[in-house]
Chains A and B, each alone.
Chain A
Amino acid sequence: MNAVLWGVLPYVMVVVLVAGSIWRYRYDKFGWTTRSSQLYESRLLRIGSPLFHFGILVVIVGHVGGLVIPESWTEAAGVSEGIYHVNALVFGGIAGACTLAGIAILIYRRRRTGPVFMATTANDKAMYVVLVAAIALGLWTTLVSVGAGSEAHDYRESVSPWFRSLFVLQPDVDSMAAAPVEFHVHTLVGMLLFAIWPFTRLVHAFTAPVHYLFRPYIVYRSRDAVPPAPGWTRSRR
């Protein structure tokens, strides 16, 4: 059971995520958009959306820090486990709470603003369930850790080694299996979120326009931007 959950599922998730994204990009570039509803309503959006998005960006940075950087490195840098943990709980907790508050505002807005609700698809609703579950469960692990005080489970000795082991294709199933149940549930829902990611509106995150900072302001494109196929390719008809 553990081998399936922590040894097989992560790879299934990665395959679905990568293959799904490639498929979506090739076959549905037109559908690859934020589907912004700001035209319908912007008062609540202007509070909820930045709260959610900036919150989740901090959460992502926190996850990368906690999962990728080994405990021995931070300790070598002079940050003790206790200090790290308190920091992670405080900043992670604040960011997570902002994210949850943001998405709560956004969902309230989506439900109560007629045109926005009309523009909400079944796909969106399913995605919101998974997304909110992942965020809420993540906050739950934080709350459990806070409640346990100094006896809190150190996920950097269980979840993180497992996460890193996935990349060298030798999943450390046992150390993940040793983590408490709240981490298990959060991880599973997180994997589900990444698996459905390419098939929802969340894909817009993959085309975050960072290159905007570097491109020239004026874009010229020729009508012949698409090079003609060479003459020796096989005719399709």
Chain B
Amino acid sequence: MRVMAQMAMVMNLDKCIGCHTCSVTCKQAWTNRAGTEYVWFNNVETRPGQGYPRRYEDQDHWKGGWTLNKRGKLELRTGSRARRLLGIFASPVQPELADYYEPWTYDYRTLTEAPLGDDFPVARPKSLITGEDTKVTWSANWDDNLGGTSELGHLDPIVEKVRRESEEKIRFEFERTFMFYLPRICEHCLNPSCMASCPSGAIYKRSEDGIVLVDQDRCRGWRQCVTGCPYKKIYFNHRSGKAEKCTFCYPRVEVGLPTVCSETCVGRLRYLGLFLYDADAVTAAASTPDPQDLYEAQLGLMLDPSDPAVVAAARAGGIPDDWIDAARRSPVYALAKTYRVALPLHPEYRTMPMVWYVPPLSPVVDLLSSQGHDAEDRATLFGAIDALRIPVEYLAELFTAGRTATVTAVLRKLAAMRAYMRDVTLGRDPDPSIPASVGMTEESLYAMYRLMAIAKYDERYVIPTAHAEQAHDLEELGCSLDVEDGPGMYESGPFGEASGRPVPVAVETFQALKQRQTTDTPPGDLSGRVNLLNWDGNGRPEGLFPPRKDGAS
């Protein structure tokens, strides 16, 4: 047993209101740059819907993830390594920009500069790719809130599958459609197929916290990872020619802060915490023959951090005690393993994804209340869960490779929690038969309610900080300043301004602050570089203002 720690996330889909705040703040933090206009490390999809990029879940077409070959061995869906190398000159199945969308801006200038006339000036959409006038025909969330579903709903690969399997019995009637939101980030998988596809070996999993990152200095733009990732969460920066992906906000997580998407989530539906898992057993678990057993196999990898044997193995594997303690308090472990209400997204891709979802009960509740039923009565809810086959089958295709029993069990727990807590809230005698009907005790059901409904910030985000003794190279792995001949703090490289490797942002800020605080003279000179974050209004950094008329700088 080789115990490793994994930072993971759980999202409670019942709480997602589809406001896209996570997407926007993530974009502002990470992909607000040229070359990444179409890149959404975090996106929120309305389901049923095609997702982003369109129909990414159709692996018969996109060839993402792993599959079992004829001998039952785990193999990338794109075939052998040699086959991938032979296809390197033109990726056989890589989404084009049209499968995402053509990013655009508006020609706002005409609004203020158009000459006076009878007609209102119009800001035309301009393509950010060609710079020409463009017609906006698709976007990252074009089918938001089921927009256009009556026309395009059948294009959702899951809808296609559920329909096929129920032999057209299920009509996709618009008025009876259920809906929920699915926020997606990189899954930071235990068995990542992007990493396995990368010819350069530039994608790596951090051994401390399991965050999957792309080494930008080693990526050569072979773009096999884009095909390899079944979630299509690796994006190709078309300016730099490098792959980019969700970083799990590692600079924040290292100092104990939640990711930007979690921090800014309006519904507070995200939970962050640690898993301890057995790294030696991952491949065997991912090779489970029946895809419907993959969820249990994945759950089996997650080790109990209270088990003395696990703790001993974790210590032997170099996991610090405060991390083991954090794993014990992990809300992610509680939701996934203790209460078993969080499920992995598409376990059938065999990547062992580490972003888990509590499936939404709301389609059931909404339908019941809209029909005038008591949507908090256990019997009514249980009956509806069993009767409403479409939502359950749909959710099962997303989270359990089609095994509806697992989804039903989770939904029943959520329903039991609703029913049980109503009695508590109304001051009636709680009914102990309700937790018992889903195999829980009153205490555990109440604890689950606390965690899901009223957990505070530090209960939702249990993030152990990276270790102080490693602080010298906390940031920007591979760019530590401590190396001999590393980039100087302020000197430019020998080949002029901006040559050499870039100074990590945090270090630059730190050094500039320190310099300003410890010198006697006001900081007039920021070494030719103006970083507005460092400029506190004192002094006149060169290049920030035009030269004075009297000749003083």
Contact = CB atoms under 8 A, between A and B. Distances in A.
What bracket does the count of chain B residues touching chain A fall in?
35 or more
Nearest to B100: A39
Given A54-B89, A207-B220, A223 B482 contact: no
Contacts of B473: 223-224, 226, 228
A42 B206 contact: no
A27 B493 contact: yes
A40 B97 contact: yes
B480 A228 contact: yes
A18 B67 CA distance: 43
Interface stretch (B125-133, B363-371, B405-413): B125-133
Interface in A164-209: 204, 207, 209
A73 interface: no
Interface string B182-217: 000000000110011011110111111000000111
A199 B82 CA distance: 29
A226 B219 CA distance: 18
A204 B220 contact: yes
A229 B206 CA distance: 21
B94 A42 contact: yes
A61 B474 CA distance: 46
Contact of B204 (A27, A207, A209, A220): A220
A222 B209 CA distance: 9
B187 to A, nearest CB: 14
Contacts of B240: 30, 33
Contacts of B349: none
Interface stretch (B159-167, B437-445, B456-464, B483-491): B483-491
Contacts of B89: 49-50, 52-54
A20 to B, nearest CB: 12
B201 A36 contact: no
A99 B501 CA distance: 36
A209 B220 contact: yes
Best-buried of B195, B205, B222, B499 by chain A (most CB within 10 Å): B222
A195 B256 CA distance: 50
Interface stretch (A7-15, A111-119, A151-159): A111-119
A212 B199 contact: yes
Interface string A202-237: 001001010111010111111111111100010011
A219 to B, nearest CB: 4
B62 interface: no
Contacts of B501: 27, 29
Interface residues of A, number: 48
B524 interface: no
Contact of B484 (A27, A30, A233): A233
B137 interface: no
Nearest to A47: B90
B218 interface: yes
B477 interface: yes
A63 interface: no
A27 B91 contact: no
Given A27-B500, A114-B132, A224-B470, A34 B222 contact: yes
B477 A27 contact: no
A213 B85 contact: yes
A223 B130 contact: no
B196 A209 contact: no
A101 B89 CA distance: 15
A27 to B, nearest CB: 6
Given A30-B216, A30-B217, A228-B473, A219 B489 contact: no
A223 B203 CA distance: 14
B292 to A, nearest CB: 24
Interface string B214-249: 011111111100000000000010111110000000
Nearest to A32: B220
Contact of A118 (B92, B129, B220, B470): B129
Contacts of A119: 238-239
Interface string A115-151: 1001100000000000000000000000000000000
A88 interface: no
B480 A226 contact: yes
B91 A213 contact: no
A213 B203 CA distance: 16
A233 B222 CA distance: 38
Contact of B482 (A34, A39, A41, A226): A226
A212 B493 contact: no
A128 B480 CA distance: 37
Contacts of B88: 209
A35 B241 contact: yes
A87 interface: no
A233 B482 CA distance: 10
A90 to B, nearest CB: 24
Nearest to B92: A46
A38 interface: yes
B489 A118 contact: no
B96 interface: yes
A215 to B, nearest CB: 6
A218 B478 contact: no
B495 interface: yes
B428 interface: no
B236 A39 contact: yes
Contacts of B94: 38-39, 42
A45 interface: yes
B132 to A, nearest CB: 7
A117 to B, nearest CB: 9
Contacts of A54: 89
B196 A217 contact: yes
A102 to B, nearest CB: 9
B466 interface: yes
Contacts of A228: 472-473, 480, 482
A111 to B, nearest CB: 14
8 contacts: A32-B217, A49-B90, A54-B89, A213-B81, A213-B82, A225-B478, A228-B472, A236-B488
Interface of A: 27, 29-30, 32-42, 45-46, 49-50, 52-54, 114-115, 118-119, 204, 207, 209, 211-213, 215, 217-229, 233, 236-237
When A and B form their complex, which 10 residue pairs have the shortest distance between CB atoms, in order from nearest?
A: A209-B199, A217-B196, A33-B241, A35-B241, A29-B217, A33-B221, A221-B204, A34-B221, A212-B199, A46-B90
